[in-house]
Amino acid sequence: MTAIDWSAERARAIIESHRSLRGALLPMLHALQEEFGYVDQAAVPLLAAALNLSQAEIHGVISFYHEFRQSRSGRHVVKVCVAEACQARGSDTLVEHLKRKLGLDLGQTGSDGAFTLEAVYCLGNCALGPSALVDDRLLGRLSPARLDGALA
Amino acid sequence: MSKPVTLYVPCDAAALSVGADTVAAAIAAEAEARRLPVQIIRNGSRGMLWLEPLVEVVTNQGRVAYGPVTPDQVAELFDAGFLDGQPHPLGHGLTEEIFYFKHQQRLTFARCGLTDPLSVADYRAHGGFAGLERALALSPAEIVAEVTQSGLRGRGGAGFPTGIKWNTVLNASAAEKFVCCNADEGDSGTFADRMIIEGDPFLLIEGMTIAALAVGARQGYVYLRSEYPHAVATLREAIRRAYEQDWLGTNIHGSGHDFHLEVRMGAGSYVCGEETAMLESLEGKRGMVRAKPPIPALQGLFGQPTIVNNVLTLTSVPVVLAKGAAFYRDFGAGRSHGTQPFQLAGNIQRGGLVELAFGVSLHDLIYRYGGGTASGRPLRAVQVGGPLGAYVPESMLSLSADYESMAEAGAMLGHGGIVVFDDSVRMARMARFAMDFCAVESCGKCTPCRIGSTRGREVLDKIVAGIDVADNMALLDDLCTVMADGSLCAMGGLTPLPVQSAIRHFPEDFA
Q: Is residue A94 part of a domain?
A: yes
Q: Name every chain A residue with its beta carbon within 8 A of the beta carbon of B178.
A: none
Neighbours of B59 (CB within 10 A): 16
Rounded CA gap, A11 and A47, in Å?
A: 9
Q: Is residue A71 part of a domain?
A: no
Q: How many CA atoms lie within 13 A of B92 on its CB side?
A: 21
Q: Quick check: B477 contacting A, CB < 8 Å?
A: no
**pLDDT score of B1:** 54
Rounded CA gap, A24 and A17, in Å?
A: 10
Q: What is the CATH number of domain B427-510?
A: 1.20.1440.230
Rounded alpha-carbon distances, angstroms, from residue B238 to A29, A31, B219, B244, B245: 24, 21, 17, 10, 11
Domains contained in chain A, number = 2
Name the residue among A54, A27, A25 with its Cα closest to residue B232. A27
Name the residue among A87, A11, A67 with its Cα closest to residue A42. A11
**Which CATH architecture fits B5-102?**
3-Layer(aba) Sandwich (3.40)
A80 and A57, same domain (yes or no): no
Q: Quick check: B346 contacting A, CB < 8 Å?
A: yes
* Same fold? B5-102, B427-510: no
Antiparallel, parallel or unpaired: β A137-139 and B332-333: unpaired
Q: Is residue A69 part of a domain?
A: no
Q: Name every chain A residue with its beta carbon within 8 A of the beta carbon of B419.
A: 84-85, 88, 126
Rounded CA gap, B174 and B170, in Å?
A: 10
Q: Is residue A123 part of a domain?
A: yes
Q: Min CA distance, B285 vs chain A (Å)?
A: 6
Q: Is residue A144 part of a domain?
A: yes
Q: List the CATH number of the domain containing A141.
A: 3.40.30.10
Q: Do B281 and A26 touch (CB under 8 A)?
A: yes
A85 and A60, same domain (yes or no): no
Q: Are B449 and B408 in contact (CB under 8 A)?
A: no
- Chain B, 284 to 303: residues with Cβ < 8 Å from chain A are 284-287, 302
Q: Do B433 and A125 touch (CB under 8 A)?
A: no
Nearby residues of A14 by Cβ (< 8 Å), 6 or more positions away: A28, A31, A32, A35
Q: Quick check: B382 contacting A, CB < 8 Å?
A: no
3-state secondary structure A89-108: CCHHHHHHHHHHHHCCCCCE
Q: Quick check: A92 contacting B, CB < 8 Å?
A: no
Q: Helix count (H) and strand count (E) of chain A?
A: 7, 5
The CA R_g of chain A, rounded to the nearest whole Å, is 17
Q: Is residue A2 part of a domain?
A: no
Per-position pLDDT tens, chain B of length 511: 578 999 999 999 999 999 999 999 999 999 999 999 999 999 999 999 999 999 999 999 999 999 999 999 999 999 999 999 999 999 999 999 999 999 999 999 999 999 999 999 999 999 999 999 999 999 999 999 999 999 999 999 889 999 999 999 999 999 999 999 999 999 999 999 999 999 999 999 999 999 999 999 999 999 999 999 999 999 999 999 999 999 999 999 999 999 999 999 999 999 999 999 999 999 999 999 999 999 999 999 999 999 999 999 999 999 999 999 999 999 998 999 999 999 999 999 999 999 999 999 999 999 999 999 999 999 999 999 999 999 999 999 999 999 999 999 999 999 999 999 999 999 999 999 999 999 999 999 999 999 999 999 999 999 999 999 999 999 999 999 999 999 999 999 999 999 999 999 999 999 8
> C-alpha B64: how far from its chain's center?
27
- Chain B, 2 to 31: residues with Cβ < 8 Å from chain A are 13-14, 16-18
A88 and A142, same domain (yes or no): yes
User: Per this entry, what is the length of chain A?
Assistant: 152
Rounded CA gap, A33 and A50, in Å?
A: 17
| Domain end among A64, A91, A107 | A64
A89 and A145, same domain (yes or no): yes
Q: Are B44 and B198 in contact (CB under 8 A)?
A: yes
User: Per this entry, what is the length of chain B?
Assistant: 511
Q: Do A30 and B267 touch (CB under 8 A)?
A: yes
The pLDDT of residue A2 is above 80: no
Q: Quick check: A125 contacting B, CB < 8 Å?
A: yes
Nearby residues of B470 by Cβ (< 8 Å), 6 or more positions away: none
The pLDDT of residue A3 is above 80: no
**pLDDT score of B113:** 97
First to last CA, chain A: 15
DSSP conformation class of B84: G
Q: What is the dihedral of CA B275, B279, B284, B288, to 10 degrees?
A: -50
Please report the ipTM that was assigned to this predicted complex: 0.96
Domain assignment of residue A86, given as a range? 76-151
> With the C-alpha atoms ordered A105, A107, A111, A116, is the resulting torsion angle positive or negative?
positive
Q: Is residue A141 part of a domain?
A: yes
Rounded CA gap, B116 and B118, in Å?
A: 6
Span A99-121, mean pLDDT?
95
Which residues are A50's β-sheet partners? none
The pLDDT of residue A1 is above 90: no
Element (H or E) spanning A10, and its range? helix A8-17
Name the residue among B399, B400, B408, B334 with its Cα closest to residue B153. B334
| Domain end among A43, A64, A85 | A64
A39 and A100, same domain (yes or no): no
Rounded CA gap, A146 and A139, in Å?
A: 9
CA angle B207, B268, B311 (to 5 degrees): 15
Name the residue among B331, B358, B319 with its Cα closest to residue B342. B358
Q: Quick check: A85 contacting B, CB < 8 Å?
A: yes
> Which CATH class for the B120-328 domain?
alpha beta
Domain B331-422 maps to which CATH number in 3.10.20.600, 3.40.50.720, 3.40.50.410, 3.40.1030.10? 3.10.20.600
Q: Quick check: A48 contacting B, CB < 8 Å?
A: no
Q: Is residue A3 part of a domain?
A: no
Q: What are phi and psi of B264, to 5 degrees?
A: -120, 130
A58 and A113, same domain (yes or no): no
Antiparallel, parallel or unpaired: β B62-66 and B91-94: antiparallel
A38 and A93, same domain (yes or no): no
**pLDDT score of B157:** 86
- In 3-state terms, what secondary structure has residue B256? coil
